[in-house]
């Protein structure tokens, strides 16, 4: 409740200051500042990332997603979206109605074997199995935004590069003296770290209190994923996640060579180890995985074009 109380307190202070009978300009400015802070710190509802593209007319993908969600014990997503440069698969509840949405990072999905795709879906569904409720989820979303704004901000690299180049053109051979912008930015980052550390503590405490997924400890959770997808597929998935270069480097090289999405995908599948387990409760046949690839071919083409821009 403290997360929701901070913006309410700022708004109340702003209204209180503005309603004072002094009528000075400074009073109005201070009141407006409090209201602005309250509006900026307001809790946000989780929402779909603006760079997501909806996946439509994908019955094969929807079928395997539904099977995995049922095996884990959660409601199947009402929408599936694809993200061009995301390296993960996430299941989240968005909006006031908390509709379940599955977000698929195409670079990762494109590089997984059929059964590794089941493992990625199972892990995403298991993480979200705990239903925290609207109040807690909106608080966690707001804390994530606050942490990003206060602790993860930094100087703009392209601006510093331009500043250095201009200084050298004007005669500074080695050292480019900082500008007022850099000094103010440094002060802002120091203040942000000071204000952000308590925010980070609140966020971690809230996550720890709501971390239980309904299956006990981490070993039990991994056991559930192993039952759904098979231990070989889970191990292969984590190996790729631990070394993202194994995913991006071969795909980017193929993009540079001008290969089509389906040709690149066929090469990826040919290199994938055999990881289908007979004990897995959800098994995705290679033929069904190929049908999913055909359903997502348009999204693959767009994602590969984005990767080609990164290469350039």
Q: 97 and 231 share a domain?
A: yes
Q: How confident is the model at residue 244 (pLDDT cuts 50, 70, 90)?
A: confident
Whose tokens are 């710190």? That residue is: 41
Q: 57 and 96 share a domain?
A: yes
Among candidate residues 153, 179, 209, the one where a domain is terminated: 209
Q: 121 and 15 share a domain?
A: no
Q: How confident is the model at residue 292 (pLDDT cuts 50, 70, 90)?
A: very high
Q: 91 and 194 share a domain?
A: no
Q: How are beta strands 79-83 and 89-94 bridged, if at all?
A: unpaired
Q: 287 and 155 share a domain?
A: no
Q: How confident is the model at residue 79 (pLDDT cuts 50, 70, 90)?
A: very high
Q: 22 and 76 share a domain?
A: no
Residue 296 is part of a domain; what is its CATH number? 3.30.2010.10
pLDDT (tens digit, 9 = 90+) per residue, 87-140? Answer: 889 998 887 777 889 999 988 898 888 899 999 999 888 876 655 555 666 666
- Residue 79, beta-bridge partner list: 101
Q: What is the number of residues in the chain?
A: 312
Among candidate residues 169, 193, 209, the one where a domain is terminated: 209
65, 76 contact by CB (below 8 A): yes
pLDDT exceeds cutoff 80 at 161:
no
Phi, psi of 225 (to 5 degrees): -65, -40
pTM equals 0.69
Q: Would you state the pLDDT for residue 139?
A: 67
- 47 in any annotated domain: no
CA dist., res. 248 & res. 202, Å (int): 35
pLDDT exceeds cutoff 90 at 293:
yes
Q: Please give the residue range of the domain that contains residue 11.
A: 2-40
SS3 of residue 74 by DSSP: coil
Among candidate residues 180, 209, 238, the one where a domain is terminated: 209
Q: Would you state the pLDDT for residue 119?
A: 92
Q: How many separate domains does the chain show?
A: 3
Q: How confident is the model at residue 68 (pLDDT cuts 50, 70, 90)?
A: very high
pLDDT exceeds cutoff 90 at 269:
no
Higher-scoring residue by pLDDT: 241, 218: 241
Mean pLDDT of the chain: 77
pLDDT exceeds cutoff 70 at 36:
yes
CA dist., res. 292 & res. 64, Å (int): 9
Lowest mean per-residue pLDDT among 62-76, 116-130, 217-231: 217-231
pLDDT (tens digit, 9 = 90+) per residue, 169-210? Answer: 666 555 555 666 666 677 766 776 666 667 667 666 766 666
Q: Would you state the pLDDT for residue 148?
A: 66
For residue 72, with 0-12 CB atoms within 10 Å meaning exposed, 13-18 middle and 19 or more buried, which class applies? buried
Lowest mean per-residue pLDDT among 147-161, 231-245, 291-305: 147-161
Which one-letter DSSP state was computed for residue 75? P
- In 3D space, the residue among 128, 114, 103, 89 whose CA is nearest the CA of residue 241 turns out to be 89
- 182 in any annotated domain: yes
Percentage of residues in the chain having pLDDT higher than 70: 67
Q: Which residues of 203-216 are buried (b: 16+ CB within 10 A; e: fewer)?
A: beebeeebeebebe
CA dist., res. 30 & res. 38, Å (int): 12
Tokens for 25, please give them: 């300009």
Q: How confident is the model at residue 216 (pLDDT cuts 50, 70, 90)?
A: very low
Q: At what angle do helices 59-72 and 286-295 cross, to 10 degrees?
A: 120
- In 3D space, the residue among 112, 128, 130, 125 whose CA is nearest the CA of residue 70 turns out to be 125
Q: 281 and 295 share a domain?
A: yes
Q: 14 and 145 share a domain?
A: no
Q: 17 and 148 share a domain?
A: no
Mean pLDDT of 33-49: 77
Please name the residues in contact with 221: beta carbons below 8 A apart, sequence gap of 6 or more: 126, 213, 215
- 46 in any annotated domain: no
Whose tokens are 């590969």? That residue is: 304
Mean pLDDT of 70-79: 90
Q: Where are the alpha helices (DSSP H) in the chain?
A: 2-18, 25-40, 59-72, 106-110, 114-127, 134-151, 157-169, 180-209, 218-229, 231-242, 245-256, 261-271, 286-295, 297-311
Q: Would you state the pLDDT for residue 213?
A: 44
pLDDT exceeds cutoff 80 at 67:
yes
């Amino acid at each position: 409740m403290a997360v929701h109380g901070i913006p309410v307190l700022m708004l109340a202070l702003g209204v209180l200051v503005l309603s004072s009978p002094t009528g000075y300009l400074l009073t109005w400015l201070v009141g407006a500042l409090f209201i602005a802070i309250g509006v900026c710190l307001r809790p946000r509802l989780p929402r779909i990332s603006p760079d997501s593209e909806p996946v439509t007319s994908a019955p094969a993908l929807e079928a395997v997603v539904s099977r995995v969600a049922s095996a884990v014990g959660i409601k199947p997503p009402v929408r599936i979206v694809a993200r061009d440069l995301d390296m993960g698969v996430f299941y989240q509840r968005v909006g006031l109605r908390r509709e379940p949405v599955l977000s698929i990072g195409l670079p990762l999905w494109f590089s997984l074997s059929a059964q590794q795709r089941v493992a990625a879906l199972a892990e995403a569904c298991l993480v979200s199995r705990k239903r925290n409720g609207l109040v807690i989820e909106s608080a966690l979303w707001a804390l994530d935004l606050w942490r990003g704004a206060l602790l993860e901000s930094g100087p703009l690299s392209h601006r510093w590069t331009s500043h250095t180049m201009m200084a050298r053109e004007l005669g500074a051979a080695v050292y480019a003296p900082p500008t007022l912008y850099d000094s103010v930015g440094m002060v802002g980052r120091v203040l942000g770290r000071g204000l952000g550390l308590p925010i980070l503590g609140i966020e971690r405490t809230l996550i720890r209190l709501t971390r239980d997924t309904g299956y006990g400890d981490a070993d039990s959770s991994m056991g559930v994923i192993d039952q759904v997808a098979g231990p070989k597929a889970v191990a292969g998935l984590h190996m790729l996640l631990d070394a993202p270069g194994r995913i991006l480097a071969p795909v980017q090289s193929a993009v540079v060579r001008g290969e089509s999405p389906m040709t690149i995908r066929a090469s990826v599948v040919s290199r994938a180890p055999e990881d289908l387990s007979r004990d897995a409760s959800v098994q995705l046949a290679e033929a069904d995985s190929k049908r999913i690839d055909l359903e997502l071919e348009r999204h693959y083409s767009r994602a590969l074009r984005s990767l080609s821009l990164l290469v350039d």
